[in-house]
Amino acid sequence: MWTEPEHVSTLTIPEPVSFYCQLDEDHFFLWLQEIEGVKEVRGLPAGLTVYLSVSILSDSALRDLIGLLFRYDVPMSFLRSQLTPSNEHWFMDSEAFWYEKIFVDA
């Protein structure tokens, strides 16, 4: 029987469109699960549900997630939910490589 893991919050992200080989896919999921605050990742019809042990990722964990998703060209607008007054100064930097994928793209 499937049970939802204990968690504080979740992120639902679309899966990457394609992987180039099995090892590429393995690394994506390994790297995702190694990000601080990520408790578990499960594939569901709507995409990947990432169960977090925190309500908001730390700055370093958020940067790691941005880097991973950017590398795999995953849409990132859902990361707007991670915006806080304490990370706004760097997270909403309009010169940052991720800015358009998070704050401009629909």
> The pTM is what?
0.90
SS3 18: coil
Phi-psi category of residue 46: left, alpha or beta, with phi > 0 → left and psi -120 to 50 → alpha: alpha
DSSP codes of every residue in 54-96: SSS--HHHHHHHHHHHHHTT---GGGGGG--TTTHHHHT-TTS
Nearest of 72, 92, 97 to residue 82 by alpha carbon:
92
Residues in the chain: 106
Tens place of pLDDT for every residue, the chain, 106 residues? 667 778 889 999 987 878 899 999 999 999 999 999 999 999 887 789 999 999 999 999 999 999 999 999 999 999 999 999 999 999 999 999 999 999 997 5
